[in-house]
Amino acid sequence: MNKLTLLKNAGQIVTVDSNGQGFLRGKNMSRLYVLENRSVVIENGLIKDFPLSAATVESKFDEIIDIDGKVVLPGLIDCHTHTAFAGSRANEFRQKLAGVSYEEIAKQGGGINATVEAVRKSSFEELVKIVKPRIDYFISQGVTTLEIKSGYGLSYYDEIKLLQVINHLKSIYPIDIVPTFLGAHTYPPEYKNEHGKYLELLTENLIPYVAENKLAEFCDAFCETTAFSAEESEVILKAAKKNGLKIKLHTEQFNSIGGLDVALKLDAVSVDHLEVVKESDIRKIATSDAVAVLLPGVSFFLDYGYAPARKLIDANAIVAISTDFNPGSSHIPNLNLIMSLAALKMEMTIEETISAVTINAAKALGVQEKRGSLEIGKAADLAVFGAEEYSEIVYNVGTNLNEMTIKNGNVIYERRD
Ligand code: NIG
Ligand code: FE
């Protein structure tokens, strides 16, 4: 059945139109193409037109939503999260506040492996129950596409359990949930002295199972001194590609140990973190098609240096930003705060922060042809913000101005107060 919806009286429609390219690179990240005093016509979940509000005949619509001068953005995309975790690491937070470093905590058996213990103890049903309110919170912020990684099971059984939880949530929520396999998050305690065996479990058993059963779209790894070397990351990512998974890499977070070259060589869709990326490597990223996914919440939470967003954008890179929501290094599920941090701490302009959570985040998840910008023919994924002007969104630090989330033309969240 044909469904025609009119979203009328937008004050601003921030289209982030990329002229069909599917990303905005370098200085183009500042080009948002804002339409004023227009409406959005949605037909069967797709954007059909942006008529002048004054010139619209209303009688032909099945549904009319008056947004009364507010600001419309493409539905936000959080392209790097570890939302599926159990337990709390408030004790580590306390240690961190007392001066113990994240890496030190990891070496003492805390960190990622502390969450692994909690996830292993939790059933499928318990995990679903824990994760649901987090997804609801993302939706309330205007998020319409959310990536969620595994990586806290780290055994054959528990990684699959976690991916099944993510896939179950994907099937019951109206937003797009993109599952990423992160079995290479760190070595679990039982393989502490048997790295070869764990690599074998990943490449011979888990990756083929995950790919064959379509439990994930991406495979990711953590290339770091406390986790996987560049050589090990290469083995893992190559196996993932061979099995038909797209790839990403956590790299240059605390140490630059060769992960970036591996990811670029294997055509990773994104290279994530980059807090300590070498000056001489910025060009390599900027001349590639990989999206640089920057995570300012981690630098804020762990109180160390920020990734060089300004230099990357000035060098012509495709930059996205994301919460990296996780229990240890960015216990921050607030994408609005991340946008403001990017502006305040990474010298990004307001326009660049918006491109970074829409079209470029879409590219980091491979959904840029359908989502991430408001263009005729693309999916009607929208967020309506209670503001007169889009700069208010970033200026209101940590405050959720989203009042309505629309996915594929359907209202899936409406603020009531
Ligand atoms: O992206 N870097 C590795 N993984 C996460 C942290 C996960 C954790 O501490 O639980 C990150 O920062
Ligand atoms: Fe991460």
Taking the CA of residue 330 as reference, the ligand 1 atom at the shortest distance is 12
Ligand 2 midpoint to CA 175 (Å): 21
pLDDT of residue 380: 98
**In the predicted model, what is the mean pLDDT of the chain?**
97
Domains of the chain (ranges; CATH) run: 4-74+373-414 (2.30.40.10), 77-364 (3.20.20.140)
pLDDT of residue 354: 98
pLDDT of residue 53: 82
Two structure tokens written together for 24: 């905005």
- Which residues does the chain have with pLDDT short of 50? none
Write the Ramachandran bin of 146: left for phi over 0, alpha for psi from -120 to 50, otherwise beta. Answer: beta
How many other C-beta atoms can be found within 10 angstroms of the C-beta atom of residue 45? 15
- Runs of H (alpha helix) within 315-386: 335-345, 350-356, 359-364
201-251 tens-digit pLDDT: 999 999 999 999 999 999 999 999 999 999 999 999 999 999 999 999 999
Q: Which of 181, 186, 248, 250 has most ligand 1 atoms within 8 Å of its beta carbon, as the pocket-test mutant?
A: 250
> Ligand 1: residues within 6 Å at CB?
82, 111-112, 115, 222, 250, 253, 298, 324, 326-329
Kindly give the interhelix angle for 156-172 and 124-140, rounded to the nearest 10 degrees. Answer: 40
Residue list, CB under 5 A from ion ligand 2: 324
How many other C-beta atoms can be found within 10 angstroms of the C-beta atom of residue 130? 18
Residue 251 near residue 237, CB atoms below 8 Å: no
pLDDT of residue 1: 73
* DSSP letter (8 states) at residue 201: I
Q: Give the separation between CA 308 and CA 347, rounded to whole angstroms.
A: 9
pLDDT of residue 58: 84
Residue type, 245: L
pLDDT of residue 174: 98
DSSP of 23-90? S--GGGGG---EEEEEEEEEETTEEEE--BGGG---TT-SEEEE-TT-EEEEPEEE-S------S--H
pLDDT of residue 55: 76
Taking the CA of residue 272 as reference, the ligand 1 atom at the shortest distance is 1
Predicted structure pTM score: 0.98
